[in-house]
Amino acid sequence: MSPLTRTIRVPRDAEKSGTAPAERVRPLDVALWCASQNWPVHPLAPGRKTPPANCATCRPQAHPVRECLCIERGGWCHGFHAATTKRARLSTWWEAQPAFGVGISCGPADLVVLDVDAHSAEVPSRSRLLPGIGIPEEVDLAGLASGFDTLALLAAFRQQTNPAEDDTTLRVKTPSGGLHVWYQALTSAERYRSSTGSSPKVALAWQVDVRATNGYIVAPATRTHAGTYTPVGAARLPAPLPEWLAAELQRTGHAISATPAVRPPIPPPRRTGKTDSNTAHRLLAPLLAEVEGCAAATHGTSFTEKLNRAAYTAGGLVAAGHLSTHQACALLKAAADGARPHQSQRSLTVITSALSAGLSRPLHVKGRP
């Protein structure tokens, strides 16, 4: 039984309210449990959510992390760069400072964590709420105030489960009222950049950041001066990253793989009757026309959103056996390159990701009688 399961109980009344009171648990126990999950761990300053200061030798000297002798010798300098799963080293660190908090280096752990904020801030224009997605004027945004709202809006737009309500995966309430939603990337080749520290333009949604490669996350049960990072619900481990979120991370520029990561496609279901490929083409044609129509303007046309929608639909048609992958890619690439010839590689990334996501939802169409 993990220390998180043993020491953080979730009473029924707490489950209903969405929170779970955390009992005290030794940070070292949490660190060792995280290491047993193959999540590299590093210390956080006592009572804080940031790493402790570098040692007196490293502090005044600017040197590359890879050349730091402190890390080689088992020190904790340079934050998540020093993270390890070595139990002896972790014991040494926390014996030296039992009040250290626990941080986890997300990249080596293949973790992708959605950091949902509830900070009081001025709500931006609707064009900035979901990067790359134009929100129609008829959508009522009254009451929208935080990342919880924009994440729900994104999930509704994609007709998917809201990650903030995903009880199959580890979710952790933060002392500030935010939420960390933990997912596990399926392969180490499927790498994503963190929103924080990479580019101010990279975000999944307004007040929804991503913690992944070159980032860290505060471990559950860690206590700070502001409060405790407390698990919500019963799940204590991250679920696999959903296909649709992987597609959104690709679309919003978080993917940093050398080549677009394409998950193994779900085999198309066995066809039980005749289908009409012409009908499938007619279904896809209006979506391709929207992509091609973006050629009339260089920006402000929601090009990525339209290409993503067309590719996702094409993936469903491929999965149902109405089109071949080659046919779908050729149609999508021709439409995208006609509208944005200068960004062919970026368009291919969007096509590859959305097509792969669409393969998980076969789209059956009936031909004319």
**SS3 readout for 216-265:** EEECCCCEECCEECEEECCCCCCEECCHHHHHHHHHCCCECCCCCCCCCC
pLDDT class for 321, splitting at 50, 70, 90?
confident
Q: What is the DSSP letter of 65?
A: G
**For the segment 221-233, what is each residue's pLDDT rounded down to a tens digit?**
999 999 999 999 9
* pLDDT of 257: 57
Left, alpha or beta for 105 (phi > 0: left; psi -120 to 50: alpha)? beta
- Residue 20: pLDDT above 70? no
Domain boundaries, the chain: 3-237, 277-358
How far apart CA 31 and CA 84 sit, in angstroms, is: 10
pLDDT of 34? 95
Mean pLDDT over residues 255-280, rounded? 51
CA distance 27 to 76: 16
- CA nearest 347: which of 283, 288, 281, 266? 288
The 10 Å CB-count burial string (b at 16+, else e) for 74-86 is ebbbbbbbbbbbe
pLDDT-based confidence at 6, cuts 50/70/90? very low
Mean pLDDT of 325-347: 83
Name the percent of the chain lying above pLDDT 90: 42
Fill in the amino acid letter for 366.
K
Give the Cα separation of 199 and 49 in Å (integer).
21
Q: Specify the pLDDT at position 346.
A: 74
pLDDT at 322 over 60: yes
